[in-house]
Amino acid sequence: MTDEITILQKQIDAAPGAPGCYVFRDDEREVLYVGKAIDLKKRIRSYLKPGSDGRNQIYFLMERATNVEFVVVSSEKEALILENNLIKKYRPRYNISLAGDDKTFVSVRVDLRHEWPRATIVHKHKRDGATYLGPFSSSAKLYETMKVLKRAFPMRLCSDHTLANRTRPCIYHDIGLCCAPCVPGKVEPAEYGKMVKSFMDVLRGKDQSVLRDMEAQMQDAAAKLEFERAADLRDRAEAIAATTSRQRAEVKDGGVFDRDVIGFYREADRAMIAILCYREGKLLDTTTREIQSLLPDEEVLSGFIEQYYQQVLSAPEEIVIPLPLESTEALASWIADRAEHKVEVTFPQRGDKVKLLELANVNAKHSLRVKDETLEREQRLIRALQEALSLENVPNRIECYDISHTQGRDIVASGVCFIDGKPAKGEYRKYKVKTVPGNDDFASMEEVLRRRLVRARLEDNFPDLIVIDGGAGQLGRVLKVLEELNIVDIDVIGLAKSRDKADAGWQMSYSGPQKWTGERVFKPGIEEPIALDQRSPALFLLMRVRDEAHRFAITYHRELARKNAVASGLDSIDGIGPKRKKALIKTFGSPKGVKLASVDQLRAVAGVSPELAQRIFDHFTVERAEIIAKQEAAGVRPEAGAVQSLPDDITPKTGE
């Protein structure tokens, strides 16, 4: 270790006094940490004196670091860009990362290059030339807002493919959700463009200007005795005003300035960051992020800002920060390049902005307290489950498996994972059952669990508790797999409803009458199943896990069954091979899309001749008629030989 420190000291002594990046590596050449500095020599020397400048948190890094490398650049901004690229490339364990957390931001995408733009909710930004509004921290609130805005601004909802192939309005026009740009004369491009602009202004927080414009239009319509149009404008304005007033709070220090105010609060290795988004003097949105790191506060904050605004293609004119940072000018210039307008990064010392910072810091502190209380409640629930079922392990990681099929066809299984009582969707798994012929749920469960546990052994990633959607028979097959693999430290239970309806209802217990749901928990080595009280939080957690596994399995089964149905139908058509089959499904996006396609649409697919297109069209004549009949019964006016826009599962994919 002495030699390693000596080598590291020599490398640090040779550091250049210029702006650039530094990379710490361990003895296996793994990158531990990437940083930037205006003066590399000055910054890097501080790592050998952790007590001299209050940077006591870096001891953990220096215990592992054996080498440091430097890259000199010409400016602070170049250092920031290089640091960002190196972090992306190496993903160092000691740099903060927002990519792996469970916070998902959503945005609204509008492609203004299209003659008739539409608005879609997306989870990722792409540099594809479209305009992105957001991100918004709450997807539920955004979906609720979009429901109102779609009525206030009835832009098209269908895909480009559907729009190009319609000749008359769909049901969305009938119910007031679309202005029918698919039909010539229904709406002018200029009028549609104005509607799109107003829609975007509302999402940007500029609803007052939109409402003033709608008020003027309403007065003009009334003056022209167009009372129906005036009433429509009034209803739309009221809906927008009600929606925005629920979501936004007026602030005294706002004006028309757009700014993000970042709050910071820290306890030991946990830092909570809160962002208050002000647009046109209103609090438009708030979001919080927890970061676990022992790095100094300034480096945690700087790393967060870089990664957060890398995800955001639109940034405000001003970003107010709670700590002085070394490279605010370079940071502001980098964000401005991405946002394509001027951006200031400021650390205020006095005035109204300081009060806004105090509010943001209070939000950060409160969010950490709330998270601690939530975690404590979840831990109590997990301990209650362990106690109720006498489990050997604390069930921090629960996995549940379910089988789904149609009379032995398209057999699939789902595996869902709950960590600390919450769904961990990144750990969900889908399985196609490969070795079981026919309808045998027991054998299917055995195959799936064997595959899961073999992989768990390779990855050293075992669950604490496995829940099986089934009774004693299913449980026995799982125990067989555990015995085969010599795995003894995992709890396994089965959860199943009693077939005797009399089991549900009020029953007597030692503490008096209690209501039972009919749910039974099966445990190895216990003949009689365990019945938990309906009011038991432990039972509620188990049912939630089981129901999620069932939902996930059913969804996957239906998806697979639809694909197999059209694939098998296409296989029976002379001239259809794997490539043409794949091209057809990709073009139309779903089985119903292929069945409803017209001859001309089929001919447009690569590799499909006019004769083959006619054969495909004729092959699905009966099924197409059945689909159209169902749509007519549902109130949709279908067009023969044209892809319909309802329901969603038959809309062709456009690649957007």
Asked if residue 430 lies in contact with residue 446, where contact means CB atoms within 8 angstroms, the answer is: no
Residue 58 has pLDDT above 90, yes or no: no
Q: What are the φ and ψ backbone dihedral angles of 535, each rounded to 5 degrees?
A: -80, 0
pLDDT value at residue 471:
83
Span of 130-134, 197-201, 391-395, 614-618 with lowest mean pLDDT: 130-134
Segment 243-297, tens digit of pLDDT: 555 444 445 454 447 889 999 999 888 899 999 888 767 777 788 888 888 788 8
pLDDT at residue 565, rounded to an integer:
61
- Output 160 or 648, whichever has higher pLDDT: 160
- Rounded alpha-carbon distances, angstroms, from residue 340 to 271, 315, 333, 334, 335: 30, 9, 10, 10, 8
Tokens for 377? 């409640």
Size of the chain, expressed as the number of residues it contains: 656
Domains identified in the chain and CATH numbers: 2-90 (3.40.1440.10), 259-368 (3.30.420.10), 397-544 (3.30.420.340), 572-650 (1.10.150.20)
CA neighbor of 217 nearest in space, from 187, 241, 191? 191
Q: What is the pLDDT of residues 455-490, one digit of tens each?
A: 998 888 899 999 998 888 888 888 889 988 888 889
Spatial separation of the C-alpha atoms in residues 263 and 194, rounded to whole Å: 37
Q: Residue 50: what pLDDT? A: 54
Residue 550 has pLDDT above 80, yes or no: yes
Predicted confidence (pLDDT) per residue in 382-425, tens digit: 998 999 888 999 999 999 999 887 766 778 889 999 998 889 98
| pLDDT above 60 for 525 | yes
Q: What CA–CA distances, in Å, run from 111 to 116, 132, 136, 196, 440?
A: 9, 9, 18, 10, 50
Instruction: Please answer whether residues 595 and 620 qualify as being in contact, where contact means their C-beta atoms are separated by less than 8 angstroms.
Output: yes
Q: What is the three-state SS of 303-345?
A: HHHHHHHHHCCCCCCEEECCCCCCCHHHHHHHHHHHHCCCCEE
Which two tokens mark 477?
């097959």
Q: For the residues 98-124, what does the mean pLDDT come to?
A: 78
**Residue 222: pLDDT band by 50, 70, 90 thresholds?**
confident
> Which amino acid, 139?
S
Q: What is the pLDDT of residues 589-609, one digit of tens each?
A: 766 778 888 888 888 888 888
- If one compares 196 and 440, the residue with the highest pLDDT of the two is 196
Tell me what the mean pLDDT of segment 565-590 comes to. 74
pLDDT at 209: 67
- Give the angle subtended at the CA of 369 by the CAs of 368 and 371, to the nearest 5°: 65
State the amino acid at position 324 in one-letter form.
P
Position 304 pLDDT exceeds 80: yes
Question: How does pLDDT run across 441-452, given as a tens digit for each residue?
Answer: 888 888 999 999
pTM: 0.61
**Mean pLDDT of the region 105-116:** 86
Per-residue pLDDT band at 105 (split at 50, 70, 90): low
Summarize pLDDT for 133-146 with one digit per residue, the tens.
777 766 777 777 78
User: What does the pLDDT average to over 483-512?
Assistant: 68
Better-predicted residue by pLDDT, 433 or 575: 433
Share of the chain above pLDDT 90, in %: 15
Q: Residue 646 — pLDDT band, cuts 50, 70, 90?
A: very low
- Cis, peptide link before residue 135, omega less than 30° from 0: yes
**Residue 57's pLDDT is what?**
56
| CA distance linking residue 273 with residue 556, whole number of Å | 37
Cβ neighbourhood burial of 404 (10 Å; 0-12, 13-18, 19+): buried
Q: pLDDT category, 642, cuts 50, 70, 90?
A: very low
Please, which pLDDT band fits residue 643 given cuts at 50, 70 and 90? very low
What DSSP string describes 342-360? Answer: --EEE---SSHHHHHHHHH
What letter would DSSP give residue 530?
A: B
pLDDT at 28 over 50: yes
Give yes or no for a contact between 38 and 32, defined as CB atoms under 8 angstroms apart: no
Give me the pLDDT at residue 514, please.
Answer: 46
Say what the pLDDT of residue 564 is. Answer: 64
How far apart are the C-alpha atoms of 246 and 145, rounded to whole Å?
10
**Whole-number mean pLDDT of the chain?**
80
Of residues 257 and 69, the one with the higher pLDDT is 69
pLDDT category at 500 given cuts 50, 70, 90 is low
| pLDDT at residue 102 is higher than 60 | no
